[in-house]
Chains A and B, each alone.
Chain A
Amino acid sequence: MSERKATIASRVGLHARPASIFAAAVGELPIEVTIALETSPVEDAMDASSILSLMSLGAANGDVVVLRAEGDGAVEALEALVKILETDLDAE
């Protein structure tokens, strides 16, 4: 199990366009990735490829989230996903 933390950089938090971009990126991966707020227990982690899950997570700008994944390429995949979360996608 690989695990990475990321701080949400988008001004509007992780919804709207930033959530679309992130969910689409996770959806293209061959492995399953979960997402949870840093303050939440592991059991509450949700499917990171679901835009609806991301929206219900309610992660705001500056919140820290935890990404988890297993399997081949998990480390590299999480590295790429952290970069997406730590970019202000709404500003682009």
Chain B
Amino acid sequence: MQNYSGVGVSPGRIIGSVRQMPKPVSEPPLGERLASSATVDEATAGLRAASKVVQAELQGRAAAATGASKAVLEATALMAADPMLIKAAIKLIATGTSAERAIWESGASVAEMLHNLGGYMADRATDVLDVRARIVAELRGVPAPGIPQSTEPFILVAEDLAPADTATLDPAKVLALVTSGGGPQSHTAIIARALGLPAVVAAPGVDELVDGTEVYVDGAAGTVSVDPGTDEQAQVAAWLLAAETLAVFGGTGSTADGHLVPLLANVGGAVDAVKAAELGAQGVGLLRTEFCFLERDTEPTIDEQVVAYRGVFDAFPGKKVVVRTLDAGADKPLPFLTDSTEPNPSLGVRGFRTDLTTPGVLKRQLTAIATAAADSPAEVWVMAPMIATVDEAADFAAMCRVAGLKIPGVMVEVPSAALLADRILGEVDFVSLGTNDLTQYTMAADRQLGTLAALNSPWQPAVLHLIKLTVAGSIAQGKNKPVGVCGEAAADPVLAVVLVGLGVASLSMTARSLSAVGAVLKSVTLDEAKRLAELALSARNAGEARTRVRAELPILEQLGL
């Protein structure tokens, strides 16, 4: 039996057949000429036909889509047969260039033109390149780029998934995700956890798997095995049984000896919030407010924002909802707020820093949150992302007071904030650790790079020490102000135990992870959690930290986690 080993990022065991994500369309060679058997007229007709096929495909997808993605797909469909794009290509065909090369060059010059226009237009350049690749694939008779269409559910194997791919991923068709690249905090990992799909990332060699091959995927162990037998079938059956017990979260997070750790949900809008409440979340530890702003060309009005926030608050009467103010920049650009030409966006004007370059947006958002909170039954807390200094924390707290918001806090995701947590907590009422960015900044490793997956793990002892330091800062400050975690780390049931042992007061995660985290936490006492935290802190590296702690938690084997 052939095995592939990677990093398990979302638990679950399943057997299914492989479908490879089509390879990116390769560039037709420079100077490629028309085949001697083809005339200019035939090549021109072929290009027009291919562009119409691609247009019809995209129109079909637009018809099935809703909201902002529908508008984007409609515009992209128009581009596929756009006179500007096609006429330039036809001129090149008339000089003897192959249709593939002609559309490639025509697309490149249109994309460059859009890129040079900047802003919103520059973002559309990507759509032109996507259309170009689809037309070339159609001309070559190879599968279109993107997630394969299939009537049967399948295990999707790819190099890595982009946010655009994950948006079109149908959870009813995809059984599991396996990638050769990507890391534990890549988009693939995040989407898998949100959808509850087993997933293995950074598994070298899986690109060779042929479509239709039957494989066994273990999303906890991080393994993929070809030709599964009775052992694997038994493992799948055991998982299904365990999954039933894991399906429901009791609604009160605590250790075996009754130390309470509220388990909260990360949500991105009212629909998410209602679902999270149904899954037993004890509140919201992270409301990402970007959903109000993304894919818009202008700032939403205060009234629009009030309605959107109230939809979330209403799902949690009497419970805590922590609102994170707009976190634009880096991988979440906004045309009216961020500069897409920054050479190093993750170290650029993002999060709270956009208030320096575009003052007013944050102030209006705080007004909207305060208005929505005023007549809401939820207990509303508010926090700013990307805080690096004590002064920034003080400025944010002052803005909250002016808006009438009573409980201001900040995210700890820049190492400087962890180091000065005691003084920062002198200015605000709570902090929440954003472990994804904290890991990326501590280890100086890009979250999206598969090659750096080992560095980019929240199990890195250095990251765990910064978390410990943040808790120590709260103790030193002396007013028992809470330190929570709202990064992906909290969704890992094993790491969650370590976080509680380090003194973290609450954990916020994708709602699907609540039951698994709750079940594992319930199996240890607070003293045991503290001992496991020490084991992890003193480990030599991330892998050793994880292995050590896993070995001490027998419940993981029982639950198939």
Flag if B84 contacts A52 (CB, 8 Å).
yes
A12-B297, A15-B121 given; A53·B75 CB < 8 A: no
Question: Which of the 9-residue segments A16-24, A37-45, A62-70 touches chain B?
Answer: A16-24
Asked whether B71 lies within 8 Å of A20 as measured between CB atoms, the reply is yes
User: B99 contacts the other chain (Cβ, under 8 Å)?
Assistant: no
- CB pair A20 B84 closer than 8 Å: no
Bound complex: CA A23 to CA B113 (Å): 19
Interface contact A51-B71, CB-CB below 8 Å: no
State which of B79, B83, B110, B120 has its C-beta within 8 Å of the C-beta of A16: B120
Known pairs A15-B120, A50-B84; A20 contacts B78 (CB<8 A): yes
CB distance from A26 to the nearest CB of B (A): 10
* Nearest CB in chain A: distance from B74 CB, A: 5
Across the interface, which residues of A come within 8 angstroms of B79, CB to CB?
Answer: 51-52
A44-74 interface (Cβ within 8 A of B):
46-47, 49-53, 55-56, 58
Interface centre among A17, A50, A53, A58 (most CB of B within 10 A): A50
> What is the interface size of chain B, counting residues whose CB is below 8 A from a CB of the partner?
19
Say whether B120 contacts A53, CB under 8 Å. no
B52 within 8 A of A: no
Contact of B117 with A16 in the complex, beta carbons under 8 Å: no
Assess whether B83 is in contact with A47, with CB atoms less than 8 Å apart.
Answer: yes
Known A17-B75, A20-B75; judge A55-B117 contact (CB<8 A). Answer: yes
- Interface: B128 (CB within 8 A): yes
Q: Is B114 an interface residue (CB 8 A)?
A: yes
CA distance A19 to B120 in the complex (A): 13
Rounded to whole angstroms, the CA-CA distance of A46 and B74 in the bound complex is 21
Q: Does A55 contact B298, Cβ atoms closer than 8 Å? A: no
Using CB atoms, name the residue of chain A closest to B118. A58
* A19 lies within 8 A of B82 (CB): no
Counting CB contacts under 8 A, is B533 at the interface? no
CB of B124, distance to nearest CB on chain A (Å): 7
* B85 within 8 A of partner (CB): yes
Whether B297 pairs with A19 at a CB distance below 8 angstroms is: no
Give the nearest-CB partner of A90 in chain B: B297
What CA separation (Å) do A53 and B75 show in the bound complex? 13
User: What's the Cα separation between A23 and B79 when bound, in Å?
Assistant: 10
Q: Do B298 and A12 have beta carbons less than 8 Å apart?
A: yes
A4 within 8 A of B: no
A24–B121 touching, CB < 8 Å: no
Query: Considering only CB atoms, which chain A residue lies closest to B71 in the complex?
Result: A17
A70 to B128 alpha-carbon distance, docked (Å): 30
Please indicate which of the listed interface residues B74, B75, B121, B128 has the most CB atoms of chain A within 10 Å of its own CB: B75
Find the A residue at minimum CB distance from B336. Answer: A12
Say how far B414's CB is from chain A's closest CB, in angstroms.
34
* A11 CB within 8 Å of chain B: yes
B297 partner residues in chain A, CB cutoff 8 A: 11-12, 16, 90
Contacts of B124 on A, CB cut-off 8 Å?
15, 55
Residues of B within 8 A of A12 (CB): 120, 297-298
A73 to chain B, nearest CB (A): 20
Q: How far is the CA of A11 from the CA of B301 in the complex (A)?
A: 14
CA distance A47 to B71 in the complex (A): 22
CA distance A27 to B82 in the complex (A): 10
Complex CA–CA separation, A35 to B125 (angstroms): 22
| Closest chain B residue to A48, Cβ basis | B83
Chain A, residue nearest B111 (CB): A52
Chain A residue contacts of B117, Cβ below 8 A: 55-56, 58
Contact of A52 with B128 in the complex, beta carbons under 8 Å: yes
Q: Is the CB of B120 within 8 A of A47?
A: no
Q: Could you give, for residues 2-17 of chain A, a 1 whenever the CB lies within 8 Å of some chain B CB and a 0 otherwise?
A: 0000000001100111
Indicate which residue in A46, A51, A58 contacts B78 across the interface (CB closer than 8 Å): A51
- Minimum CB–CB distance for B315 against chain A, Å: 29
Contact of B75 among A16, A27, A56, A58 (CB under 8 A): A16
- Taken together as a complex, chains A and B put the C-alpha atoms of A49 and B78 apart, in Å, by 9
Q: Contact flags (1/0) for B98-134 with A, using CB distance below 8 Å?
A: 0000000000001001100100110010001000000
* Cα of A19 to Cα of B110 in the assembled complex, Å: 16
Q: Which of A19, A46, A56 has the most CB of B within 10 A?
A: A56
Alpha-carbon distance between A46 and B113 when the two chains are bound, in angstroms: 15
Q: Could you tell me the distance between the alpha carbons of A58 and B71 in the complex, rounded to whole angstroms?
A: 19
Query: Do B82 and A50 touch (CB < 8 A)?
Result: yes
Select one of B85, B120, B298 contacting A52, CB under 8 A: B85
B84→A47 contact, CB < 8 A: yes
Cβ-closest chain A residue relative to B335: A12
Distance from B205 Cβ to chain A, minimum over Cβ atoms (Å): 41
Residues in B with CB closer than 8 Å to A47 are 83-84
Neighbouring B residues of A20 by C-beta, 8 Å: 71, 74-75, 78
Interface centre among A11, A17, A19 (most CB of B within 10 A): A17
Residues of B within 8 A of A24 (CB): 78
CB within 8 Å for A23 and B121 given contacts A12-B298, A16-B297, A53-B84:
no
Task: Establish whether residues A23 and B298, one from each chain, have CB atoms under 8 Å apart when the complex forms.
Answer: no
Determine the chain B residues whose CB is within 8 A of the CB of A17 once the complex forms: 71, 74-75
Report yes or no: A55 in contact with B114, Cβ–Cβ below 8 A.
Answer: yes
Chain B 490-526 interface residues, beta-carbon cutoff 8 Å to A: none
How far does the Cβ of A81 sit from chain B's closest Cβ, in whole Å? 16
Q: Is the CB of B82 within 8 A of A51?
A: yes
A–B pairs, 5, beta carbons within 8 Å: A11-B297, A12-B298, A20-B78, A49-B83, A55-B124
A17-B71, A20-B74 are known contacts; what are 20 more A-B pairs with Cβ within 8 Å? A11-B297, A15-B120, A15-B121, A16-B297, A20-B71, A23-B78, A46-B84, A50-B82, A50-B83, A50-B85, A52-B84, A52-B85, A52-B114, A53-B83, A53-B84, A55-B121, A55-B124, A56-B114, A58-B117, A58-B121
Q: A residues engaging B (CB < 8 A)?
A: 11-12, 15-17, 19-20, 23-24, 27, 46-47, 49-53, 55-56, 58, 90
